[in-house]
Amino acid sequence: MSDFHLALMNYVQSGDLADIAEHLDDTKNTRRLAVYRNTFISSCIDALLRKYPSGEKLLGEDFFKTLSRQFCLSHPPITPVLAEYGENFPEYVRGFMLDNHPELGYLWDICKLDRAWYHAYFADEKPSLSQDQIESLIEDIESKSLSLHPCVQLIQNDWTVLSLWAQLRVGELSEQVAIEHNHENILLWRDNGRILHRQISEPESLFISSIYAGQTLGDAAQVAMQNGPIDISEIFSQLLLNKLLT
């Protein structure tokens, strides 16, 4: 990398002018370099605002931007596609809240749901099973393996925030919701361009994740049933009905 590129990159990410100064033809210009550093920070914050809208609504714009600014300075983008920035933001939020605002520990679950929404919305398209394929499944169904549609997202939250998130996603918080420190499993998917979600049980989540892992339907069912009560035919029908099996 040339000295110029290295010096400019170092300045933008750290604010340190030491190396870039020699490349300017007028030292009065150092102040104007701030445009590049400001744009770096504001572009990253905007990308996070777009990807984590519920997180921003919950925290408020100022707090969210402060948090985002800290994140972007310690985690600059790793690809040229800004829309993909901030994949590890929820994990950062978790650590930050644990250290500074434990009462907002559930924020990372909210951000995980925003991230899942993004992945479901922009996932690849893939044809679902045809009627013939569905009918051919019936014989010796337990030995068959299937795939999930790329839009399927399984999330396990530490806090019961689904109802809160669903309200934030469509507007502002309209009614009080109780948030408890209990696991919550959620299935999220795309249907005709809309993102739908449903709370599922732990065994149902295990059944779906086992299908994703390539296990036969029989093995997936067994793993799920060992974890607790589950109506396999009900969850399997739901997956078929929503065209989530391929």
Partner 1 sequence: MKALTKLPADAGICLKPEHFDDIPSKVDGHLWFEVHAENYLMQGGPRLEKLQDIAQRFPLSIHGVGASLGGPKPVNSEHLKRLASLVNSVPSAAFSEHIAWSGTDSNYMANLMPTPITSESLVRTASNIEQLQDAIQRPILIENPANYLTFKTDMSESEFMMSLVSKTGCGILLDVNNLFISANNTGIDPVKYIRDLDRTVIGEIHVAGHSVDPIEKDLLIDSHDSEVASGVWALLNDALSHIGSCPVLIERDANLPSFEVLLAERNIARNLILQNNKVAGYE
Binds partner 1 (CB under 8 A): choice among 15, 16, 18, 29: 29
d(CA 220, CA 213): 9
Task: Identify which of residues 87 and 202 has a Cβ nearer to partner 1 in the complex.
Answer: 87
Q: Which is nearer to partner 1, 31 or 181 (CB)?
A: 31
C-alpha torsion sign, points 212, 217, 218, 223? positive
> What track of x and - describes contact with partner 1 for positions 160 through 179 (by CB under 8 A)?
--------------------
* Residue 57 vs residues 39, 66, 104, 107, 164: alpha-carbon distances, Å: 23, 14, 13, 11, 11
**144 forms part of the interface with partner 1 (CB under 8 A):** no
C-beta closer to partner 1: residue 33 or 177: 33
The span from the CA of 16 to the CA of 182, in Å, is: 45
The DSSP letter of residue 125 is P
* Interacting residue with partner 1 among 62, 99, 103, 124 (CB under 8 A): 124
Reference 205, options 190, 182, 183, 178; nearest CA is: 183
Q: Which of residues 71 and 106 has its CB atom nearest to partner 1 in the complex?
A: 71
Q: Write out the two tokens for 94.
A: 């978790």
CA distances from residue 100 to 67, 70, 94, 210 in whole angstroms, order as listed: 11, 13, 10, 37
- CB within 8 Å of 83: residues ≥ 6 apart: 47, 50, 51
According to the binding rule CB under 8 A, does residue 79 interact with partner 1?
A: yes
Is residue 76 classed as helix, strand or coil in its secondary structure? coil
- The answer to the question of residue 98 lying near partner 1 (CB under 8 A) is no
Candidate residues 57, 94, 115, 190; the one interacting with partner 1 per rule CB under 8 A: 190
Q: Does 18 bind partner 1 (CB under 8 A)?
A: no
Q: Is 53 in the site for partner 1 (CB under 8 A)?
A: no
* Residue 198 binds partner 1 (CB under 8 A): no
Q: Does 77 bind partner 1 (CB under 8 A)?
A: yes
Query: Interface residues with partner 1 (CB under 8 A)?
Result: 1-2, 4-6, 8-9, 12-13, 23-26, 29, 31-33, 35-36, 39-40, 43-44, 47, 76-83, 85, 121-125, 150-151, 190, 193
